[in-house]
Amino acid sequence: MVNEPNKSSKSCFIAMPISDPLGYDSGHFRRVYEHLIRPACTKARVTPLRADDVKAANYIVLDILQRIINADLVVCDLSGRNPNVMYEVGVRQAFNLPIVFIKDQRTERVFDIQGFRTVDYDESLRIDCVNRDIETLRAAIEATMQPDHNDVNSLVKLLGISKAELPKNKEVSADTALILASIRDISERLAGIEQIQYNKLISTTESNNINNRKISSFLLIGGDSVSYGDGIYDKSGGTWLGDFNSIDSMGVIIKDKNGKVLIIPPEDPSYKTLSAVPF
């Protein structure tokens, strides 16, 4: 049985390709995350967060960079040599912070960081291979999380260069705070509208393609695909909320075990943590 991370678990930012690079099947790296990286993080009792999870929660780019810097650990998938991933690695290494590097077997080692240990995994994600790779990644995460002042996390330390430092006190003016709050609010509203339009498109497409029989398959804001009757969880605490009914302009509609209807609107903070799995 996989142990679920508790609220006191360490944070782990996942730097990996989000879209599908040339030569990879659609949704490949989402499957790598769901079936390899997230289970390994759960076993190692660290809480994973992908870049698109941050974007889905309507954070701006600055927040993504802050999470790269502030996370207790970063797991970096070098597969496909994605330039965004390389940039995130550069930011993390500038602060000489711990990283676990992984890559699929088809990707050649990256020259500039080939001196660091890299966990190779089988991109087929076959059950026998992925179970082995989960254990290997779990061990690498746990070893990296062990404090050791002699650890070399980047070339910064090898070159004797002072690592980057964030200013200890950075005050934001009231005007700037108001602008940022407005940007967040607009982003949340746009994300909600986009999600509703996407779900309408999916519903209409399925209705037209399968004997005009509407199938309620929708996408939660966190990226999970759900259908009528699927369990819905609050992944921030692993709590089961009820069974999925539908999504409309009012929000996500759920029925609990007593048949009571629960509507979670987009402005509700828990709307962003809804998931098809409890972690």
Contact indicator for 12, 49 with CB cutoff of 8 Å: yes
Task: Dig out the tokens for 33 from the structure.
Answer: 């995350």
Task: Calculate mean pLDDT across residues 261-265.
Answer: 84
pLDDT band at 33 (very low <50, low <70, confident <90, very high): very high
The pLDDT score that the predictor gives to residue 151 is 61
pLDDT at 9 over 80: no
The pLDDT score that the predictor gives to residue 1 is 39
The pLDDT score that the predictor gives to residue 188 is 59
Domain topology for 10-158: Rossmann fold (3.40.50)
pLDDT band at 148 (very low <50, low <70, confident <90, very high): low
pLDDT at 3 over 60: no
What is the full DSSP assignment across the chain?
A: -PPPP-TTSEEEEEE---S--TTS-TTHHHHHIIIIIHHHHHHTTEEEEEHHHHHHTT--HHHHHHHHHHSSEEEEE-GGG-HHHHHHHHHHHHTT--EEEEEETTSPPPGGGTTS-EEEE-TT--HHHHHHHHHHHHHHHHHHHS--TT---SHHHHTTPPPP---S-----HHHHHHHHHHHHHHHHHHHHHHHHHHHHHHHHHHHHSTT----EEE-TTS-EEETT-EEEETTTTEEEEEEEEEETTEEEEE-TT--EEEE-TTSGGGGGEESS--
The whole-chain average pLDDT of the chain stands at 76
pLDDT at 178 over 70: yes
The pLDDT score that the predictor gives to residue 38 is 94
Task: Calculate mean pLDDT across residues 141-167.
Answer: 66
Domain boundaries, the chain: 10-158, 174-275
pLDDT band at 208 (very low <50, low <70, confident <90, very high): very low
Task: Calculate mean pLDDT across residues 232-239.
Answer: 79
pLDDT at 212 over 70: no
Report the distance separating Cα 224 and Cα 220, nearest Å.
Answer: 5
Residue with tokens 């802050």: 66
Among 53-57, 75-79, 234-238, 264-268, whose mean pLDDT is lowest? 53-57
Beta pairing class for 10-15 and 73-77? parallel
Task: Calculate mean pLDDT across residues 51-63.
Answer: 62
Q: What is the pLDDT of residues 125-139, one digit of tens each?
A: 999 899 999 999 999
pLDDT at 64 over 50: yes
pTM of the model as a whole: 0.57
